Chain A
Amino acid sequence: MEKHVLLIEDEPNIAEAIRFILSRDGWQVSHEADGSRALARVRDLRPDLVILDHMLPGLSGLEILAALRADPATAAIRVLMLTARGQGRDREAAVAAGADRFMIKPFSNADILAEVRAMMEP
């Protein structure tokens, strides 16, 4: 069965590239660009993995992550956090909020693919 990834990213071209890379690798990929709709999408789709951008319109990545972790229905979903800022405190904040992995933009296609594969290993 195809594993399902929900990509929450407001940059359309980045989202398109990630979606292409993961789809080609056999993942089912859904996309959401608006932070305020992201929580509802996660609850509806129940993805195996969420790739979550740090800076989003509506609701920030950290706020979404905190809400996911606070809800028993979504608390166990693995989350890969993306950021274009890369500062130490962003990483600390993401880890504190419950991110499983953290990647700094710009990343290579091979790197994000490797991260996703590693996170989906049983």
Chain B
Amino acid sequence: MPETAELRSQRTETQEDDPIELLYSRGLTDGLPVVPPTEARVKRMLEATDRDPQELIGTIGPNYGRATIEKIAINAVMAGCHPSYFPTVLAVVEAACEDQFCIHGINVTTFSASPMIIINGPIRQQIGVNCGHNAMGHGFRANATIGRALRLIIINIGGAKPHEITKATMGHPAQYTFCVGENEEESPWEPLHVERGFRADQSTVTLFGGHSPLQINDHASRNAEQLALSLGWTMAGLWNHKNFPLFSDTVLVVCPEHAKTFKQDGWSKNDLRQFLYEKIRRPLRELRPGVNGGEGAGVSMLRTDAKKDREPATDDTLFPKFPKPENITIIVAGGTAGRFSAAVQGWAGGNAGSKITTKVI
């Protein structure tokens, strides 16, 4: 923090001897107790950056509150972040504020979307981001608090509070925090940030507007094709069993043991996503609304094909689950024991929704 910089946030004195209860009563938490953001704690957080506390990173919908460096630091303190996490938190907020990420839509949808944060590069070791066992679970301060900082920013700066403007029907636990490091060391493939055009020695955050993870068990498949079909047909139920194709991206989190199976048959990430695109398909007759589900494809599927100058679809026409191979993002994460991968389905994607967004830390 520059020496001449000043903090401008309003100060409140707690009249009682329990500031945690005061913060609850003001509606400033995610439901869990927060660390009181005293001036001393906020200044310590700001010492992790040279940037001016009044620098505006962006605005957060639905309230379009201003996420300044100072306000981000206050929320990072409340989340329990160590000051060494602060540059990562800033990169997360920069990504969230990108117009293409559509944070406003993610914050108010009934879909229960939440930003999933994927961290790559050396920062993982520097600040202790967990990439191995329990990668998407509890127990590690960096994972827990970096994701939580973003949620508190969404609540306190963005104004997205449940039962008010946030109308997620079900919600899910990853809305508290959803931050995972890619297990680059156990991956046979290029890490995500290198795929997306960054150097391996750069540290990045990638944000994805996703749902809760669907864990996929497969302890028996012995080759890449068998395993890919197992994962793919389980993912065929994402969103709804008749939603072919999805209107969103999907993140496939491949566990290290499954990654080894793909490696032994020489499959790249592109081989896997191309295979899933080509093989996970169902005919239109199985996708129509009916006794096995009123939500399904219909007349619009026939019209869509006609619009694209293809033969009009018939009941036998196969529709892919994944709109294009590039709509499947693949990372490796998780522990080296156990064959459970996970799929995270996305909110509306592309130009109509949220795009996966990466920022350098």
A binds B: no
